[in-house]
Structure 1
Amino acid sequence: MRTISVIKKRNTNVYLSVDLIEQAKALDLNLSATLNHALELAVKKGQRERWLEENRAGLEALNGFVEENGLFSDDAEFGVL
């Protein structure tokens, strides 16, 4: 059975270089799809950077623990699953 995903879209105004738009049209690029994809990538990058910044202290603490104590898998008694 097929499921249909509906993605809500909204009109918005963007201002782009005339030359760039003409080049994109000459290549038959879909501006909406291209801009949507580029914005999606930029949002994911921004979210990743924010997450790393918000969790930096915890990551540094974990890295410090590993440096001091090593990994559990480094223990000869740990074994392999």
Structure 2
Amino acid sequence: MKAERETAIQLTNTINNTITDVVHEKRRQQWKAENKVGIHAFNEFERDAGLFTDDDEYGVI
């Protein structure tokens, strides 16, 4: 009986971890989709203007 209980606990932990991973990945994809325009705009700005720290005061990090 103890072995069956331990197996059930391991299975429960595996299922919980899998669900957590799926939810995390879904949220990550949703965040990327919601912020895609802003990320693209910042990348374009950085390509055109350089990094915020690319000047004489800060130098290049």
Q: TM-score, normalised by structure 1?
A: 0.59
Q: Indicate the residue corresponding to 1:58 in structure 2.
A: 38
Give the gaps of 5 or more residues in structure 2: none
Give the gaps of 5 or more residues in structure 1: 1-24
Q: Indicate the residue corresponding to 2:55 in structure 1.
A: 75
Show CA shifts across 1:8-27 (max 9, x none). xxxxxxxxxxxxxxxxx7xx
Aligned residue pairs total 54
2:53 aligned counterpart, secondary structure:
helix
Q: TM-score, normalised by structure 2?
A: 0.76
Runs of 4+ in 1 over 4 A off after TM superposition: none
**Which one has the bigger helix percentage?**
2
> Identity over aligned residues, as a percent?
36
Which structure has more relative contact order (CA 8 Å, sep 6+)? It is 2
